Chain A
Amino acid sequence: MVMSWFWTLCVFVSLMYSMPNGTLSAVSTAATEGAGLGVELCISMAGTLCLWSGVMEALRQSGALDTLGRLLRPMLGKLYPQHQSDEQIMGAISANLSANLLGLGNAATPFGIQAACAMAKHTGGVASDALCMLVVCNTASIQLLPVTVASLRSAAGCESPMDILPAVWLSSLLSVTVGICAAKLFAALERAR
């Protein structure tokens, strides 16, 4: 529904804004060109996107999820002390994080939901601190290789679409750190009240 409103707003504002500003004919051209642009973009993205999806699938089949999960386990224990000894929950959380790191969003969500459901048992519909942490971590992007973005850039004629990697890592790291700190801070504030 959000997108329907957004779309309506876009075309309505374009019409209203262009009339007094004399850009009406440009808007009319842009509408048909924009639609074509969407298709062109997808075709020029296709190669890069498919190649990287293939690479990620090969890594997944090689057991990269398990390996990453094992490496992340000690750190995750610190982040979710409440569930540290729960094999099932910790397994799901580390699989969720590993899949997110590899950019396998479709694989990450079921693991995350599995962990979320286990955490939400017996809490009577109230989110626990651990569940809030899990959700906050999943709303921050921590993808090691931003494949879709890279293919967008190469579609626009970029010669080295991956040159933004260090910037993406720095930015993701800052964002997820602030998310975790905010969650911890809000939890502490709630307890203090």
Chain B
Amino acid sequence: MNLLTSAAVPLILTLTALIALSHQIDLHSALIKGAQDGLTILLRIVPNLICLMTAISMLRASGFLDWMAEICAPMLKPLGIPPETLPLLLIRPVSGSGALGVGAELISTYGPDSLIGRTVAVMLGSTETTFYTISVYFGAAGIKKTRYALPAALCADLTGFVAASLAVRIFFG
């Protein structure tokens, strides 16, 4: 397991390079173009992160987040979800950049290799901005009656949160 995870990154990089060369792609300019796209994305999320980190840091410092986690613990504990992740659970389906900011704050507060930090990362990696996605798709297709799409999507989200907590406990617990 350990070897696999430490080999993953160099392996992926090497494989990508070989695949690109075998397809006669200009690997270097593709990497540069991707990196440029990455910078564009970053530029878009920096202002968001500044706003959000300010708000969340204030909430954290006031002691409100700890108090909320304590209150919601009896509800979240039976599902195996760490109560400290509550702010992320609330914002994840609504806003992508919001979730990124909240997640970043949680990860830096509790540490990236803590159980909470890892759970937050897995939650971010295995769920999506549900409400936003639904409104984009149905809006573009001109749909008025969405039937069961939202409840089904929210089922998937809840499963994602529970499964993320479970998976982290299985692999790192």
Contacts and interface: CB of A to CB of B under 8 A. Distances in A.
Interface of A: 2-3, 6-7, 10-11, 13-15, 17-18, 21, 23, 26-27, 29-31, 33-35, 37-39, 41-42, 45-46, 49-59, 61-64, 109, 112-113, 116-117, 119-120, 123, 125-127, 131-132, 134-136, 138-141, 143, 145-146, 148-149, 152-158, 160-168, 170-172, 174-176, 178-179, 182-183, 186-187, 190
A16 B11 CA distance: 51
Interface of B: 1, 5-6, 8-9, 12-13, 16-17, 19-20, 22-23, 25, 27, 30-39, 41-42, 45-46, 49-64, 67, 91, 94-95, 98, 100-101, 103-105, 107-108, 111-113, 117-118, 121-130, 133-134, 136-138, 140-149, 151-153, 155-157, 159-160, 163-164, 166-168, 170-172
Given A6-B91, A30-B57, 15 more contacts: A33-B57, A35-B54, A41-B49, A54-B35, A58-B31, A62-B22, A117-B141, A135-B153, A146-B125, A152-B107, A156-B108, A156-B117, A162-B9, A176-B156, A186-B147
A160 B41 contact: no
Nearest to B45: A42
B49 A187 contact: no
Contacts of B107: 152-153, 156
Contact of B152 (A117, A132, A158, A166): A132
Contacts of A167: 118, 122, 164, 167-168, 170-172
A21 B63 contact: yes
A123 B141 CA distance: 10
Most buried by B among A59, A64, A162: A59
A33 B108 CA distance: 13
A61 B164 contact: no
Given A126-B143, A139-B130, A141-B160, A54 B31 contact: yes
Given A17-B62, A58-B16, A42 B156 contact: no
A42 B147 contact: no
Contacts, number: 346
B20 A61 contact: yes
A30 B156 contact: no
Contacts of B58: 10-11, 14, 27, 30-31, 34
A41 B172 CA distance: 25
A18 B127 contact: no
A179 B159 contact: yes
A176 B130 CA distance: 12
Given A55-B31, A157-B112, A168-B126, A3 B149 contact: no
Nearest to B129: A139
9 contacts: A6-B95, A30-B58, A38-B53, A39-B50, A61-B25, A162-B5, A171-B123, A175-B126, A183-B149
